[in-house]
Amino acid sequence: MIEVINVSKWFGERQALKNISFKVEKGEILGFLGPNGAGKTTTMRILTGFFPPSSGTVKIAGEDITKNPIFAKQKLGYLPENNPLYDEMTVEAYLKFVASVKGIKGKKQKMQVEKVIEECGIKEVKNRLIKRLSKGYRQRVGLAQALVNDPEILILDEPTIGLDPKQIYEIRQLIKNLAGEKTVILSTHILPEVSMVCTRVVIINKGEVVAEDTPDNLTAKRGQIEILVKAPAEEIENHFKSIPEIEGIEVKKENEFTRAFLRFSPQIEIRPFIVKTIVEKGWDLLELIPRRASLEEVFVQLVTEEAS
């Protein structure tokens, strides 16, 4: 449904995107991740036709968005990070206005507005002025305006920003319910949310795609072992840093013990090697715990590696 092919974007002398490419299949929920300034919002604005790419191609449902923008935009619903609401309108009036702007009129407009009011859980506030709504309800109204034209593709930029845990859960459930029915790109800084909602992840940093895979595969590719050893932290750190098979180490002192977190390629069975090393050094091993990296840890590692 979405195809990004070698897209770059320049703002004057600053290059915001550097030849990025990725696809989003029909019915997929894609998590689009990156640190601040990585190029996420720029990418989303290009996908929605708000910005043209400096070079490269974006296809929406098979059509080049720069060559056939009307067709492409009819397929899209967009919730930007800064929710575009008109505070002096009631919820229902605002949704009718957005529907009319999107070319939906008459009975179809009435049906679509009623549908998104129900789907987004805003029936009880449909006659209230938008300026009197809580942050959670405002986000729901923003999601409703993105859905009002019944788009095949939904692009959501930080839809849960500023919400409390209950509101985050409610918006997350709304998005999960769209799986299979609509193609969704979700940008967020809440990484556990991605693990729970998204079928695939693209991570961008400094305008370049640095990873693309399912959340499970991304976390499986980063092996970790936690050990608790009776030995000086500096000695443990220096020794394991010198071993090529160990990709990274963090150590924490715990009185006379040291807790170390070792990162390595999961293709290597490294536990016997670690145990043998500790025995040869004469250290006392109290714990050895294989751990699966969290998506947050993978994200930090990837972004740090690319920055170094």
Q: Provide the CATH number for the domain around residue 278.
A: 3.30.70.3100
User: Among the listed ranges 113-117, 118-122, 170-174, which one has the minimum average pLDDT value?
Assistant: 170-174
pTM more than 0.75: yes
Helices and strands (H and E) in the chain: how many: 11, 14
Query: What does the pLDDT look like over 12-60, one tens digit per residue?
Result: 999 999 999 999 998 899 999 988 888 998 999 999 988 899 999 999 9
Q: Do 172 and 72 fall into the same domain?
A: yes
For residues 20 and 8, give the distance between their C-alpha atoms in angstroms, rounded to a whole number: 7
Domain assignment of residue 297, yes or no: no
Handedness of CA 63, 177, 189, 200 (dihedral sign): negative
Q: Do 15 and 48 fall into the same domain?
A: yes
pLDDT tier at 112, thresholds 50, 70, 90: very high
User: Among the listed ranges 51-60, 157-166, 222-231, 277-286, which one has the minimum average pLDDT value?
Assistant: 157-166
CATH of the domain at 195: 3.40.50.300
Q: Do 190 and 251 fall into the same domain?
A: no
Domain assignment of residue 302, yes or no: no
Q: Do 91 and 195 fall into the same domain?
A: yes
Query: What does the pLDDT look like over 129-169, one tens digit per residue?
Result: 999 998 888 988 999 999 999 999 999 988 887 777 887 88
pLDDT at 4 over 90: yes
Q: Do 130 and 273 fall into the same domain?
A: no
Residue-level pLDDT at 305: 63
Residue-level pLDDT at 306: 56
Q: Do 228 and 113 fall into the same domain?
A: no
Strand partners, 264: 223, 246
Task: Give residue 241's identity as a one-letter amino acid code.
Answer: K
User: Rounded mean pLDDT of 5-10?
Assistant: 95
Residue-level pLDDT at 302: 80
Domain assignment of residue 307, yes or no: no
Residue-level pLDDT at 284: 92
Domain assignment of residue 300, yes or no: no
To the nearest whole percent, how much of the chain has pLDDT over 90? 47
Q: Do 283 and 198 fall into the same domain?
A: no
pLDDT tier at 307, thresholds 50, 70, 90: low
Among 166, 183, 213, identify where a domain stops.
213
Crossing angle of helices 165-176 and 135-147, rounded to 10°:
10
Average pLDDT, the chain: 88
Among 167, 184, 213, identify where a domain stops.
213
Q: Do 279 and 196 fall into the same domain?
A: no
To the nearest whole percent, how much of the chain has pLDDT over 70? 97
Tell me the residue range of the domain where 150 lies: 2-213
Q: DSSP state, 130?
A: G
Sort strands 183-187 and 200-205 into parallel, antiparallel or unpaired. Answer: unpaired
Domain count, the chain: 2
Q: Which among 58, 79, 78 has a CA at the least distance from the CA of 68?
A: 58
Task: Give residue 139's identity as a one-letter amino acid code.
Answer: Q
Q: Do 87 and 194 fall into the same domain?
A: yes
Q: Do 154 and 31 fall into the same domain?
A: yes
Domain assignment of residue 59, yes or no: yes
CA atoms within 13 Å, Cβ hemisphere of 6: 2
Residue-level pLDDT at 247: 79
Query: What does the pLDDT look like over 257-267, one tens digit per residue?
Result: 999 988 877 66
Q: Do 22 and 98 fall into the same domain?
A: yes
User: Rounded mean pLDDT of 75-85?
Assistant: 88
Q: Which residue has the higher pLDDT, 70 or 129?
A: 129
Residue-level pLDDT at 113: 96
Q: Do 95 and 229 fall into the same domain?
A: no
Q: Which residue has the higher pLDDT, 167 or 286?
A: 286
Domain assignment of residue 32, yes or no: yes
Among 173, 192, 213, identify where a domain stops.
213
Sort strands 153-157 and 183-187 into parallel, antiparallel or unpaired. Answer: parallel
